[in-house]
A and B are shown apart, each in its own frame.
Chain A
Amino acid sequence: MEWETVIGLEVHTQLSTQSKLFSSASTAFGAEPNTQASIIDLGFPGVLPVLNREVVQMAIKLGLGINATITKKSIFARKNYFYPDLPKGYQISQYELPVVGKGFLDIILEDGSTKRIQITRAHLEEDAGKSLHEDFHGLSGIDLNRAGTPLLEIVSEPDMRSAKEAIAYLKALHSLVRYLEICDGNMQEGSFRCDANVSVRRKGDSKFGTRTELKNINSFRFIERAINFEVERQIALIESGGTVKQETRLYDPNKNETRTMRSKEEANDYRYFPDPDLLPLVITDEMIESVRSNLPELPQQKRQRFMDQYGLTAYDATVLVSSKPLADYFEIVVKESGNQPKLAANWIMGDLSAALNKDDIEITACHVSAKQLGKLIQRISDNTISGKIAKTIFETLWNKEGNDVDEIIEKQGLKQVTDTGAIEKLIDQILSDNADKVAEYRSGKDKLFGFFVGLAMKASGGKMNPQQLNEVLKKKLAG
């Protein structure tokens, strides 16, 4: 029995405007409860919404970034339901005519191939406030600071077939909105919220299975785990004769399981209708062109350019463009290294990444500047130092125990030995000290080559140029 997973994703991105979608209150995160809610956000009698221009620009940016149609005339609709964090008793959203229509996002799979994920639509809506259940002794506190903050909800088609694909899509989208500077992508603060619709079906089935919705998961790692758990759960359920119930489920990262959300009663009838306090939003070709001409180079374009210009693999290019600061860092390193993109990529994705992860910091807080890394790589490529030695220099730089690569090389005497004469002399010495091993090698024990390399490296304090060492050693051993 072969099973296929079907995943669709809905992402709510909080747009990084100064003021709210329909009011002039601030959207800044972290203020004292209920200090950033105006009478409009509070739904007082008689108040009216007026649309934020910047939000429209951002929606257009997103639309262009996902190659979507921008709806020339979109409508705001009211979604009616009762909840204390929804002051007006309705949310202003978009229903039949969203501002952004069909688009797509290409993702890179683990094997390096590309898959195109279709995006159904993206629409504007206002955020609700927050309900806080702790600290209130059986009651709930409502903080309306968030009420009215602009959201852009991006809905994908159910095109993903594994948790890994889902994560690739989310990361690509996350990177895109940050490149476009429309969302800060801070999942901890709720700026980028992912809901996953997960279902399974027997391979070959054309109909979709019943799906469940996984909500409120705020890290990529947890989303991946949650999806995997849910898929297993559904398969087990069906195989044991049960049926999947259409419901919303939460993920418990401690237990690594999903469970039914405290059932929010029967499906709500939202009674959508066009908001009579707002008029149709008209977007002109001029507006779109103006936004298009000011777009930064987008991740997909940059990725292709990195592959073409720097000869990088698809995989490496994808990783390096995943954030704009990282991509910029890479390009500076390449320049400073005297054009060594392969080395630059390896170092950034290897040692540098490891150091960032270890200290849990972003590239923007990196302890080694792009210039420094570039210089370091240049010294490797011009044979001043070996790759091995470079790693120690890197550590010195990272720990701020030294500042200038050449100075460190000088001070610690790390220059690589490249003088053929010196190498020959050292090797002659080693071979004569280990004549028995030389004999064994000559009689067929090829593996002993590494033994001699090790001795040579040790004797030279690691400063021998590996290629030259290998050449000379081979020659000498051959007799």
Chain B
Amino acid sequence: MNYKFITEFSNALHTKKISSVELTRYFLDRIKKFDKQLNSFITVCEDEALKEAKKADELLAKGQAHALTGIPIAHKDIFCTQGIKTSCGSKMLDNFISPYDATVVKKFKEAGTVLLGKTNMDEFAMGSSNENSFYGPVKNPWDLSVVPGGSSGGSAAAVAAHLAPAATGTDTGGSIRQPAGLCGITGIKPTYGRVSRYGMIAFASSLDQGGPFARSAADVALLLNAMSGFDEHDSTSVNKVVPDYSSTLDQPLNGLRIGLPKEYFGKGLDPEISKLIHEAVEEFKKLGATIHEINLPNTELSIPAYYVVAPAECSSNLARFDGVRYGYRCDNPKDLEDLYKRSRSEGFGSEVKRRIMIGTYALSAGYYDAYYLKAQKIRCLIRNDFVEAFKKVDIILGPTSPTTAFKIGEKVDDPVSMYLSDIYTIAVNLAGLPGISIPAGFVNKLPVGMQLIANYFEEGRLLNVAHRFQTVTDWHTKIPEGF
């Protein structure tokens, strides 16, 4: 099986060179062989996968197949999958079998994909390293002693190690882009409202967005098309036509104005990473783009604002996990209070509890104005920064993370230091803009991601720019040694 990309697999399936059952078996075998090292899967759905693959082969034989028919995919365990365990990386939902499919899952089913399994993640999507999972940390396939990033670490590691050609993730403060960057793959967070949140277990409702991981922008384009679109079950879903992202991938970049924010290249950024990003910028110049310096003056405030808004919303979203109707319940509760407190204290991990506490505090009587309201105002300032910038440029470019992947355990005891690593990605969620991370090289053998940000609903442009970069570089073709 010497294909790497979904586009190649799809072509092979359609030209009958391989069958979906073969393709699915191939990935299931790789998962069996390699995942013990990575711990990227929580649940593997072997029987279901092969059943679905068989169905896909029937459609392919009848000529009723589409681009993604028969393509295996892994879903972050935050997406509800009917009849299949959906744990959200937490003990709290370790026993939860979802009674319904998330809209994203439904859409991928309709597109004909084959579900390989559910991937590991930071508990309730809270984390930047995938060390906060009830199911143990996920390892980065490029170096098993470092983190893959989070919270969608399982999906990123699985795609990077070629255990799945496609995977879904969610991004609230960078949880798709950052692991994509640290694992050397491509991942996109769409505009807020582009992808339905129905069935995507909520962390911070005004920031969460689902998005795809794959090895290339062309692959991501196919996946994003399948998962985007208006959903009547989600009041925040936007009723806007989804363009065909694949059809505009090859547009030339002449005249493209790229902005480099001064604030993204200050101290705190590893100089080696800065060098790689600037080399990438040179490539863009060769492709016909012009480069401009821009300012995003409120960048630093995005982290404190985020760490008020997100925990506030999550403290409320996670109140439903109380041991009463589903999920973890403590043994022999004495009374109602005991049921609540022990179920929640035993069911949630420490980062989740920390954020619930911060969020509860920020919303509590007397503090609402100083924290939550203030943070929402800063959000407005941050959004205004981008609006101004997009008057001058079409794309904003910078590194995805200030460093390469850090060692497992290195930042676990210092939450604030962990939070600081989200500096380039968080503002994008606060503003609701689309952002993508693509591989831009290696520093000390660890992948470096480059982030591109575009204006609202300009995912097509992002994918086009990313794809053009990938036609003149080969970072995205690399697979970690040993996999």
Direct contact of A and B (CB under 8 A): yes
Segment 175-220 of B: residues with Cβ below 8 Å from A: 197-202, 204-206
* B334 nearest CB across to chain A (Å): 13
Would A88 and B364 count as touching, CB distance under 8 A? no
A44-67: CB near B (< 8 Å → 1, else 0) gives 111111110000000000000000
Which of A236-244, A268-276, A293-301, A319-327 makes up part of the contact surface? A268-276
Among B233, B316, B326, contact of A48 (Cβ-Cβ < 8 Å): B233
B64-81: CB near A (< 8 Å → 1, else 0) gives 000000000000000110
Kindly name the residue among B80, B236, B316, B318 whose own CB sees the greatest number of chain A CB atoms within 10 A: B316
Segment 121-178 of B: residues with Cβ below 8 Å from A: none
* B203 nearest CB across to chain A (Å): 11
Task: Tell me, yes or no, whether A87 is within 8 Å of chain B by CB.
Answer: yes
Among B199, B206, B364, contact of A46 (Cβ-Cβ < 8 Å): B199
Would B86 and A48 count as touching, CB distance under 8 A? no
Which secondary structure dominates where chain A touches chain B?
loop
Once A82-B322, A273-B363, A276-B313 are accepted as A-B contacts, the answer to whether A48 and B102 lie under 8 Å apart by CB is no
Q: How far, in whole Å, are A251 and B134 apart by their CA atoms in the complex?
A: 49
Q: Please, which residues of chain B bring their CB within 8 A of the CB of A273? A: 312, 316, 363, 368, 372
Task: Tell me, yes or no, whether B319 is within 8 Å of chain A by CB.
Answer: yes
Task: Tell me, yes or no, whether A112 is within 8 Å of chain B by CB.
Answer: no
Task: Tell me, yes or no, whether A97 is within 8 Å of chain B by CB.
Answer: no
Q: How far, in whole Å, are A119 and B318 apart by their CA atoms in the complex?
A: 36
* B180 nearest CB across to chain A (Å): 23
Q: Please, which residues of chain B bring their CB within 8 A of the CB of A88? A: 319-320
Among B201, B324, B360, contact of A271 (Cβ-Cβ < 8 Å): B360
Among A50, A84, A89, A142, contact of B232 (Cβ-Cβ < 8 Å): A50
* B422 nearest CB across to chain A (Å): 20
Contact residue range for chain B?
35 or more
Would A44 and B326 count as touching, CB distance under 8 A? yes
Would B235 and A51 count as touching, CB distance under 8 A? yes
Contact residue range for chain A?
20 to 34
Which of B92-100, B265-273, B458-466 makes up part of the contact surface? B92-100
Task: Tell me, yes or no, whether B431 is within 8 Å of chain A by CB.
Answer: no
Segment 90-121 of B: residues with Cβ below 8 Å from A: 93, 96, 98-100, 102
Would A276 and B201 count as touching, CB distance under 8 A? no
Would B100 and A39 count as touching, CB distance under 8 A? yes
Once A45-B80, A50-B233, A276-B205 are accepted as A-B contacts, the answer to whether A89 and B86 lie under 8 Å apart by CB is no
Would A80 and B99 count as touching, CB distance under 8 A? no
Would A45 and B86 count as touching, CB distance under 8 A? yes
Task: Tell me, yes or no, whether A42 is within 8 Å of chain B by CB.
Answer: yes
Once A42-B325, A48-B234 are accepted as A-B contacts, the answer to whether A90 and B205 lie under 8 Å apart by CB is no
Task: Tell me, yes or no, whether B340 is within 8 Å of chain A by CB.
Answer: yes
Once A39-B100, A84-B336 are accepted as A-B contacts, the answer to whether A277 and B236 lie under 8 Å apart by CB is yes
Would A277 and B205 count as touching, CB distance under 8 A? yes
Task: Tell me, yes or no, whether A291 is within 8 Å of chain B by CB.
Answer: no
Would A82 and B235 count as touching, CB distance under 8 A? no
Task: Tell me, yes or no, whether A279 is within 8 Å of chain B by CB.
Answer: yes
Among B200, B233, B319, contact of A90 (Cβ-Cβ < 8 Å): B319
Q: How far, in whole Å, are A47 and B234 apart by their CA atoms in the complex?
A: 8
Q: Please, which residues of chain B bring their CB within 8 A of the CB of A272? A: 363, 368
Q: How far, in whole Å, are A49 and B233 apart by their CA atoms in the complex?
A: 7
Would A50 and B316 count as touching, CB distance under 8 A? no
* A355 nearest CB across to chain B (Å): 51
Would B200 and A50 count as touching, CB distance under 8 A? no
Segment 448-468 of A: residues with Cβ below 8 Å from B: none
Among A46, A87, A278, contact of B200 (Cβ-Cβ < 8 Å): A46
Q: Please, which residues of chain B bring their CB within 8 A of the CB of A43? A: 320, 325
- Chain B residue with minimal CB distance to A271? B363
Q: How far, in whole Å, are A156 and B320 apart by their CA atoms in the complex?
A: 33
Task: Tell me, yes or no, whether A78 is within 8 Å of chain B by CB.
Answer: yes
B353-378: CB near A (< 8 Å → 1, else 0) gives 00000001001110010001000000
* B122 nearest CB across to chain A (Å): 16
The 8 A-B residue pairs whose C-beta atoms are closest, nearest first, are A89-B319, A271-B363, A276-B205, A276-B206, A43-B320, A46-B199, A45-B201, A46-B80
Interchain Cβ contacts under 8 Å between A and B, 15 examples = A39-B100, A44-B98, A45-B86, A45-B202, A46-B200, A48-B197, A50-B234, A80-B363, A84-B336, A87-B324, A89-B316, A89-B319, A90-B316, A272-B368, A273-B372
Given A48-B197, A271-B365, A276-B236, 17 other A-B contacts at CB below 8 A?
A: A45-B86, A45-B96, A46-B199, A46-B201, A50-B233, A78-B316, A82-B340, A84-B324, A89-B320, A89-B322, A142-B324, A269-B364, A271-B316, A271-B360, A272-B368, A276-B204, A278-B235
